[in-house]
Amino acid sequence: MVGVVSCSFTAKQKSNEERQKLLIDLISFVLDKAHFDARILNDEFSQEVFEAYMNRLDPQKRYFYKSDIEEFNIHKNNIDDYIKNKELDFFFLTYERLQQRLIASKALYVDILENKFDFTEKEAINVDYENIDYVKNEKEMRERWHERLKYSTLSTFYDKIEEQEKDVEKNPDFEVKTKEEIEAESREITKNSVGEFFDFNDDLNEKDWFAVYINAIVESYDPHTYYFAPKDKDRFDISMSGKLEGIGARLQKKNDNIKIVEVISGGPAWRGEEVEVGDIILKVKQEDEDEAVSIVGMRLDDAVSLIKGPKGTKVTLTLRRVDGSIDDVVITRDVVELEETYAKSSLIEKEDKKFGLINLPKFYFNAEDYDSRNAASDVKQEIERLKEKNIDGLVIDLRNNGGGSLKTAVDVAGLFIKTGPVVQVKSRGARKQVLEDENPSIVWDGPLVIMVNELSASASEILAAAIQDYKRGIIIGSKQTYGKGTVQSIIDLNRWLRSNNNGDLGAIKVTTSKFYRINGGSTQLEGVKSDVIVPDRYSYIEIGEKDQENPLPYDKIAPASYENWTNLVSYEDIIARSKERMEKNDQIRLIDESAKWLSLRRDMKKVSLRYDDYKGDIEENEKKLKYFEKIEDYKSDLEFKSLPYELTKIELDTVLGEKRKRWHKNLKSDVYVDEAINVLEDIEMEQYKANIGAVGNKKAHD
């Protein structure tokens, strides 16, 4: 918990409006005193809040008319004054207008779906919702809803046609439905799905919509600052405790889409290997229900309530993949397997050489007893075990590691350097803090490679940056890591009240500090630039902190005092050799080609509503995906083995054996690991030449 300037509010019995005024007052106070980069409340701030709020209320521009927005625009530059004066007229205006438009839309969608769709017409929908304009009149509103409903129905119609064709192949006597019958069924599914969406909206009250308004204000500070209404805070507490049962993925809402932003190691989605970061969840179907529910446009917490569920139950997710394809994935809900969130290692054999690889999914620790088990002590133990096998080099795999404990990141860095600073932390109005490794012992002083990707964030970036700044090892991976260089604290809003007759006011997550490398540069936005850049499927897609709304800027502070690693080699030569190898590598070229195609797919803003065109586009897409399946055929000449202690465990635990077998199979087809080993060999050779040269020079001098 962050400490801020003392303040108390006396809360008397208030109406709902009084409670909302109290919330505005309290939140603006906490943000002003606690946020790392507190905003000046002015016209520019007002405009940002206005745009964010409109986008949250109507992201697909299917409720409000242009005239509504013009009316709201009168308030565009005044929100800062409304916050200061605790005026709520603007909120009530937008809230009441939205309720009117929602009622009108409910009648509109039912009316449109009474008539069949003609999928032979040459028609298309613009899915670039951010850049389309609001409609001017009822005719345009009807056309917009017609396009959206037809698009949704066409997707179901296509799926049902495909399903029927497969059923006929299996059973020639299968009772075939006409296209007219399938169209009618598809329309009914769309009707039910949209109806359920409006049912969810009907359950929202004024408090819920006020939380939307509050978060439009709060998130204008930065994307990680967020207001938790009381029920949202309860859900957050449950998820942080690790007791939530579900699919094991972190979700985020952007526009009307629910996107997977993290697949949690050890969770059911991770174990199934069918879900990946960037997938958008379109529909959710329970195992005891016939039809899926569309979650497009649904509030995030309502979507989460549909997706999560008791251990052992199944949920089917309809996903729009990063490449644009649509898939149904069945996931059996479960709890996260803790063992799979811990560090694990593999011995790698290449001809007569041995190397070690340690996979670290996150920087974990026990909050009640740090020394009982943490990422640093586990990594140290794995290194010691690998050293017993006389390894020639070590790879630390931080890909998809979203961070965790800062202390463990500092302690892991200390395993590879003598002593010295690892990261600088700066809080608002305070002197910078330099976190150092104070243990002079080095657990591994040999060749070192750190593997990262766009999803390596926070503490992962701290470790990679320290290794890079000390010139202790080589960073291999994506062009840059995620770029999250900020620290957040949860502040309970109720703590500021002497007495409270308004009920639970919730909490706010506030960005309170910023990370800086020991060279003085922030990891914010810039992340860590890889020494050796290897293309992957996200290479040409905006992902990471830069893709968030209102991220804090990159900046620099004075560097810390540190000395480079003494056993220096010519990293420039090693990096040049790696680039040369990759330019000749057909697998790397194929991955790069796939990434470029993926970027083109994501940039497509228009979708045909004509069945033949829609089907043709999907078939063309599937052909390309089939072509890129060759990427999965890659097999290196590396051999991966479990260490003796784990082989003993596997004898008693066949499930663990299967997990390690799957992991080793994936590593063998991982061209990035292959290149990491090549780089380790180059480092080893450079060090050998440097040592021979040093000995020669000594003899000549003697």
Q: Has residue 387 got a pLDDT over 80? A: yes
pLDDT band at 12 (very low <50, low <70, confident <90, very high): very low
Dump pLDDT digits (tens) for 106-118. 999 999 999 999 9
Q: What is the DSSP string of 13-37?
A: ---HHHHHHHHHHHHHHHHHHH-TT
Dump pLDDT digits (tens) for 121-180. 999 999 888 899 999 999 999 999 999 999 999 999 998 999 898 888 888 888 899 999
**SS3 track for 178-221:** CHHHHHHHHHHHHHHHHHHHHHHHHCCCHHHHHHHHHHHHHCCC
Q: Which tokens is 49 given?
A: 């809040």
Residues 6+ apart with CB under 8 A from 660: 642, 646, 650
Please report which helix (H) or strand (E) contains residue 498, including its range: strand 497-499
- Output the pTM of the full model: 0.87
Give buried/exposed letters for 509-548 (b at 16+ CB in 10 A, else e): bbbbbbbbbbeebbbbbbbbbbbbbbbbbbbbbebbbeeb
pLDDT band at 691 (very low <50, low <70, confident <90, very high): low
Q: Has residue 445 got a pLDDT over 70? A: yes
Angle between helices 654-668 and 644-652 (to 10 degrees): 130
Mean pLDDT of 47-60: 95
C-alpha of 172 from chain center: 45
Full set of structural domains in the chain with CATH: 39-220 (no CATH), 243-332 (2.30.42.10), 338-686 (3.90.226.10)
Dump pLDDT digits (tens) for 342-360. 999 999 999 999 999 999 9
Q: How far apart are CA 62 and CA 626, in angstroms?
A: 37
Rounded to the nearest 5 degrees, what angle is found at the Cα of 344, between the Cα atoms of 245 and 337? 10
Q: Has residue 63 got a pLDDT over 70? A: yes
Q: How far apart are CA 361 and CA 401, in angstroms?
A: 5
Contact 678, 578 (CB under 8 A): yes
